[in-house]
């Protein structure tokens, strides 16, 4: 390179440094003013390197014959003062429109070409928002424009807008020819944008002998197809031929390999997430028509176009879901619930569609990026995107309804937040619901009955325990109120929830003069569990009349409400509670007034291991020791506990009431280990001959229910169940004995049970009788 040429390159580099931000119009105006109109600046490569590959790609076949150079409409966005358009014009491509947002350079280029190239057009225009009609061009030629928009610190906003314009403006059969350095962040946008309905290739531009140390320029060609096919990206790049540019070429090959793998996976039927643009060209059929049972995962929104990006699922209702109240509706799922089986699994999503009464439901799964946004902003942002997904016969003037989960909470105060090493974040809160049963209001002499709840963050929609707070001595006499009392559901899915409406604050509680009322069970499934004792009421009555003891084991303490109720009302019971997490024991004692005594003992131990050891012990006739877990409590002190239980006695009632740490599996309660056949066999072996096994099952999946029923039937001779809370809670009762009570004796047996519980003159007794009438045999 001669001294004159070296000086020119040095001056160009100094001039480029004045640009700073390549996306600034003012900077480019200044750059072109200083440079002048006669001194062309060429990005990446010069005409001698580009002529052959460009001319071969601009001879574009149409449906019949090749389009002539004179007929081909070419767009050059971000043209700058490059001579590329002039060379093409001189080769016979006259219909060239050049676009740049710098008035300075467009004025200079117009003056330079007005006489010698009169047909060529020049427009001052932003390449991310061009004022041309759809499908106006047969070729779009980009020389470094996309790279300039994709400065890493600016993100992909401008690049996304620009490529959307490119796709809009190209005719079918047209080609987007992009000259780029092929950096990873550029290819990470470019490749996915041209997935469906595009044939794509990438090729190196030959370097001049004097430029061997320069960065390699590549030509990406994307041809617009007439069908939404998905093709592999072809490449003529030979990695071995780029000795001094290994880092640059390695990044390209990695991006190319990753993208082609995604395309191969999609082609083989793997889980696909489409862009809205892909769906609009028909990759999953005609969106204007409802297609029963169609389910499509997609992403909505683009940086710079909408406020947020969204993960969504489009579901066209199955044929038997009608009649429909809505042609199209939206269902917003908050981040805290997006992992749940109901919203994350295909089976769960169809259940939501059926209950929504929408012919087409678009489920939006919110995430942490939406945490600071209010629902009005999200709805406003989504509305124009959703309208593009509405069926073709949808009335444009009609509003698409937005549904969201709402917990129906009128007021809420957080009493305690703590993180357990075993369970994770746990919340104790006091709430007043917007609506409770009138009988509850009368019973507790208040329109705003306060409930105290225990919730594990890992399953936030699943309230572990729920108690009513009342003044000591409450509730008032129930002789003059209706016997049927309403009950809030606990450890059950809260349908139609909307947390954003709650009034949340930290506090000692909504009222400091109230205490947990252990005479009332707020959780309907607790009442359901007790109603199942009807199945062994004769056995219980026999023990009571002979001065015997009912040996009961409860796995899972929660707030301790069920064990406290049993201890209070079943005077001849000895109750052992097995809880793995000492933090939960602390919370039960500190916030729910749980107290153990000679008849009610709590052990910090593994319930699974205990039952298996107990079964082994009673089978082999030796004592079983309950080993206390060596885990510190929430305050760092040891948990006061009863002495280790040593016995060879069998269990009369074994109750499993624990949640699953992974609700995404579709099983919220219990943990999967508690329904494995090995545990069920151990549970049966640990029971007395007349013993009862109870398990609280929470799942919306019928397939999971059927699987668990099948396992239980293979172990126990008799199974019964009680369906609660809109088919979410399913309390299952299993008997060890070969002979059992018949269903026509249930009412009489329930009366016997209420007497044993000293509840015959109480509305709770009536609740138990009513629940018993709903118990059904599983055949």
Residues ≥6 apart with Cβ < 8 Å to 345: 664, 666, 701
Please provide the DSSP assignment of 101-154 as one string.
S-HHHHHHHHHHHTTTSTT-EEEE--TTS----TT-EEEEEEESHHHHHT-GGG
User: Torsion angle, CA of 702/703/708/711, rounded to 10 degrees?
Assistant: 140
Sole residue written with tokens 């029923």 = 709
pLDDT at 585: 96
Q: Percent of the chain having pLDDT more than 70?
A: 79
* Residue of 417 and 473 predicted with greater confidence: 417
Which sign, positive or negative, has the C-alpha torsion 143, 145, 148, 151? negative
Instruction: Give strand pairing partners of 61.
Output: 66
Which of 170-184, 356-370, 428-442, 634-648 has the weakest average pLDDT? 634-648
Q: Model confidence over 515-569: pLDDT tens digits?
A: 898 888 888 889 899 999 999 999 999 999 999 999 999 999 999 999 999 999 9
- Token duo for residue 554: 């409860």
Nearest-10 crossing angle of helices 103-113, 25-35: 40
pLDDT band at 375 (very low <50, low <70, confident <90, very high): confident
- Do the two domains 18-267 and 524-619+645-777 of this chain adopt the same fold? yes
pLDDT at 623: 54
Report the alpha-carbon angle 68-69-70, nearest 5: 90
| Residue 562 backbone dihedrals phi, psi, to 5 degrees | -65, -45
Residues ≥6 apart with Cβ < 8 Å to 529: 562, 655, 657, 694, 696, 731
Please provide the DSSP assignment of 45-100 as one string.
--HHHHHHHHHHHHS-B-SSSBPPTTT--EEEET-TT-SHHHHHHHTT---EEEEE
Q: Model confidence over 697-732: pLDDT tens digits?
A: 988 777 888 899 999 999 999 999 998 755 578 999
Which of 175-189, 229-243, 600-614 has the weakest average pLDDT? 229-243
| Per-residue three-class SS string for 228-260 | CCECCCEECCCHHHCHHHHHHHHHHHHHHHHHH
Is the pLDDT confidence value at 621 over 70?
no
Nearest-10 crossing angle of helices 677-686, 702-715: 40
Is the pLDDT confidence value at 490 over 50?
no
Mean of the pLDDT values across residues 733-744? 90
**CB distance 726 to 489 below 8 Å:** no
Please provide the DSSP assignment of 647-685 as one string.
E-PPEEEEEE----S-GGGS--BS-GGGGSHHHHHHHHH
pLDDT at 501: 32
Mean of the pLDDT values across residues 294-301? 93
**Count of CA atoms in the C-beta half-sphere (13 A) of 286:** 6
Residues ≥6 apart with Cβ < 8 Å to 524: 487, 488, 489, 490, 492, 724, 725, 729
Give the residue ranges of DSSP H helices in 294-448.
Answer: 341-344, 346-356, 375-387, 438-443
Distance CA 720, CA 724 (A): 13
Residues ≥6 apart with Cβ < 8 Å to 316: 290, 291, 292, 293, 294, 295, 359, 360
pLDDT at 238: 81
Is the pLDDT confidence value at 195 over 80?
yes
Sole residue written with tokens 């008035």 = 103
- 280 three-class SS: helix
Distance CA 265, CA 469 (A): 55
User: Torsion angle, CA of 318/324/330/335, rounded to 10 degrees?
Assistant: -60
Nearest CA-CA partner of 730 in 744, 742, 716, 719? 719
Nearest-10 crossing angle of helices 524-531, 746-756: 110
**CB distance 411 to 510 below 8 Å:** yes
**CB distance 574 to 599 below 8 Å:** yes
Distance CA 761, CA 480 (A): 12
**CB distance 317 to 343 below 8 Å:** no
- Token duo for residue 252: 């390209």
Q: Model confidence over 379-416: pLDDT tens digits?
A: 999 999 999 999 987 766 678 899 986 656 788 899 99
pLDDT at 478: 32
- 325 three-class SS: coil
- 344 three-class SS: helix
The bridge status of strand 121-124 relative to strand 137-143 is unpaired
- Token duo for residue 472: 């000591």
Eight-state DSSP code of residue 763: H
pLDDT at 23: 61
Sheet holding 74-77, edge to edge: 121-124, 96-100, 74-77, 137-143, 170-180, 218-224, 198-204, 234-235
Which of 13-22, 90-99, 562-571, 742-751 has the weakest average pLDDT? 13-22
Q: Percent of the chain having pLDDT more than 90?
A: 44
pLDDT band at 141 (very low <50, low <70, confident <90, very high): very high
Distance CA 457, CA 455 (A): 6
Is the pLDDT confidence value at 186 over 80?
yes
**CB distance 253 to 245 below 8 Å:** no
Mean of the pLDDT values across residues 214-237? 89
Q: Domain ranges for the chain, please list them.
A: 18-267, 274-403, 409-470, 524-619+645-777
- 196 three-class SS: strand
Q: Which of 32-36, 142-146, 271-275 has the highest mean pLDDT?
A: 142-146
pLDDT at 38: 60
- Token duo for residue 79: 């043209």
pLDDT at 472: 60
Report the alpha-carbon angle 239-242-243, nearest 5: 115
Give me the CATH code for the 524-619+645-777 domain, please: 3.40.50.150
pLDDT at 277: 87
pLDDT at 459: 72
Which sign, positive or negative, has the C-alpha torsion 740, 745, 750, 755? negative
Is the pLDDT confidence value at 638 over 50?
no
Q: Model confidence over 250-269: pLDDT tens digits?
A: 888 889 999 998 888 888 77
- Token duo for residue 287: 């969106």
Other Cβ atoms within 10 Å of 374 Cβ, number: 10
Fold exhibited by the domain 18-267: Rossmann fold (3.40.50)
* Residue of 330 and 518 predicted with greater confidence: 330
- Detail the DSSP E strand segments found in 556-686: 573-579, 600-604, 624-625, 646-647, 651-656
pLDDT band at 640 (very low <50, low <70, confident <90, very high): very low
Distance CA 674, CA 664 (A): 17
Q: Model confidence over 303-315: pLDDT tens digits?
A: 767 888 899 999 9
Distance CA 369, CA 439 (A): 43
Q: Model confidence over 745-758: pLDDT tens digits?
A: 988 988 999 899 98
Distance CA 653, CA 683 (A): 10
pLDDT at 250: 82
Which of 84-98, 233-247, 587-601 has the weakest average pLDDT? 233-247
pLDDT at 191: 93
Mean of the pLDDT values across residues 465-487? 52
Q: Which of 6-15, 185-194, 426-435, 663-672 has the highest mean pLDDT?
A: 185-194
Distance CA 139, CA 73 (A): 7
Mean of the pLDDT values across residues 70-77? 92
Mean pLDDT of the chain: 82
Distance CA 535, CA 741 (A): 6
pLDDT band at 59 (very low <50, low <70, confident <90, very high): confident
**CB distance 191 to 32 below 8 Å:** no
Residue 49 C-alpha from the chain's centroid: 50
């Amino acid at each position: 390179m001669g001294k004159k040429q070296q000086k020119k390159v040095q001056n160009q580099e100094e001039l480029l440094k004045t640009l700073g931000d390549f996306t600034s119009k003012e900077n480019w105006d200044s750059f072109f003013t200083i440079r002048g109109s006669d001194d062309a600046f060429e990005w990446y490569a010069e005409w001698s390197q580009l002529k052959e590959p460009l001319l071969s790609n601009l001879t574009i076949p149409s449906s019949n014959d090749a389009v002539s150079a004179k007929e081909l409409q070419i767009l050059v966005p971000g043209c700058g003062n490059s001579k590329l358009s002039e060379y093409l014009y001189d080769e016979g491509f006259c219909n060239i429109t050049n676009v740049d947002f710098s008035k300075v350079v467009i004025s200079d280029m117009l003056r330079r070409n007005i006489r010698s190239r009169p047909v060529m057009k020049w427009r001052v225009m932003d390449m991310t928002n061009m004022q041309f009609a759809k499908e106006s061009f047969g070729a779009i030629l980009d020389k470094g424009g996309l790279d300039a928009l994709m400065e890493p610190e600016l993100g992909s906003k401008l690049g996304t807008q620009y490529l959307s314009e490119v796709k809009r403006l190209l005719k079918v059969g047209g080609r987007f020819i992009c000259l780029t350095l092929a950096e990873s962040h550029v290819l990470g946008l470019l490749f996915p944008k041209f997935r469906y309905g595009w044939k794509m290739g990438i090729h190196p531009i030959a370097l001049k002998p004097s430029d061997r140390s320069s960065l390699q320029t590549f030509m990406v060609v994307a041809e617009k197809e007439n069908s939404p096919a998905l093709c592999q990206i072809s490449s003529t790049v030979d990695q071995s031929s780029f000795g001094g540019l290994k880092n640059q070429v390695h990044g390209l090959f990695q991006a190319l390999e990753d993208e082609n793998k995604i395309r191969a996976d999609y082609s083989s039927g793997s889980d696909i997430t489409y862009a809205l643009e892909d769906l609009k060209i028909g990759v999953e059929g005609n969106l204007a028509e409802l297609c029963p049972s169609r389910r499509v995962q997609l992403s909505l929104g683009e940086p710079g176009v909408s406020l947020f990006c969204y993960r969504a699922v489009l579901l066209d209702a199955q044929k038997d879901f009608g009649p429909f109240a809505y042609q199209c509706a939206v269902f917003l799922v908050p981040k805290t619930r997006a992992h749940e089986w109901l919203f994350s699994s295909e089976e769960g999503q169809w259940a939501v569609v059926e209950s929504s009464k929408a012919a087409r439901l678009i489920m939006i799964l919110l995430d942490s990026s939406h945490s600071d946004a209010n629902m009005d902003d999200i709805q406003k942002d989504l509305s124009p995107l959703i309208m593009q997904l509405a069926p073709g016969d949808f009335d444009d003037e009609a509003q698409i309804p937005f549904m969201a989960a709402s917990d129906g909470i009128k007021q809420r105060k957080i009493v305690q937040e703590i993180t357990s090493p075993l369970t994770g974040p746990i919340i104790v809160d006091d709430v007043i619901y917007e609506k409770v049963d009138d009988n509850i209001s009368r019973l507790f002499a208040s329109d705003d009955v306060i409930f105290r709840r225990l919730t594990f963050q890992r399953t936030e929609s699943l309230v572990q325990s729920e108690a009513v707070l009342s003044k000591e001595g409450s509730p008032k006499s129930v002789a003059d109120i209706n016997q049927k009392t309403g009950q809030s559901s606990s450890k059950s899915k809260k349908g139609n929830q909307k947390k954003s409406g709650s009034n949340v604050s930290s506090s000692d509680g909504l009222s400091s003069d109230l205490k947990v009322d252990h005479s009332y069970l707020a959780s309907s499934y607790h009442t359901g569990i007790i109603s199942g004792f009807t199945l062994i009421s004769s056995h219980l009555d026999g023990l009571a009349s002979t001065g015997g003891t009912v040996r009961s084991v409860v796995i899972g303490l929660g707030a301790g409400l069920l064990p406290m109720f049993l201890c209070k009302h079943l005077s001849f019971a000895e109750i052992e509670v097995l809880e793995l997490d000492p933090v939960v024991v602390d919370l039960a004692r500190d916030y729910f007034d749980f107290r153990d005594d000679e008849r009610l003992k709590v052990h910090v131990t593994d319930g699974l291991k205990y039952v298996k050891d107990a079964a082994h012990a009673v089978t082999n006739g030796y004592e079983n020791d309950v080993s206390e877990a060596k885990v510190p409590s929430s305050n760092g002190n040891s948990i006061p506990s009863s002495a280790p239980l040593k016995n060879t006695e069998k269990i009369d009632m074994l109750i499993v009431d624990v949640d699953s740490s992974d609700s995404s599996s579709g099983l919220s309660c219990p943990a999967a280990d508690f329904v494995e056949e090995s545990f069920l066999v151990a549970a049966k072996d640990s029971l007395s001959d007349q013993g009862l096994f109870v398990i609280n099952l929470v799942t919306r999946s019928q397939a999971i229910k059927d699987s668990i029923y099948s396992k239980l039937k293979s172990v126990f001779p008799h199974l019964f169940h009680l369906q609660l809370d809109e088919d979410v809670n399913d309390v299952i009762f299993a008997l060890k004995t070969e002979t059992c009570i018949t269903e026509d004796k249930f009412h009489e047996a329930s009366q016997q049970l209420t007497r044993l519980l000293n509840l015959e003159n109480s509305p709770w007794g009536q609740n138990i009788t009513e629940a018993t009438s709903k118990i059904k045999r599983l055949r």
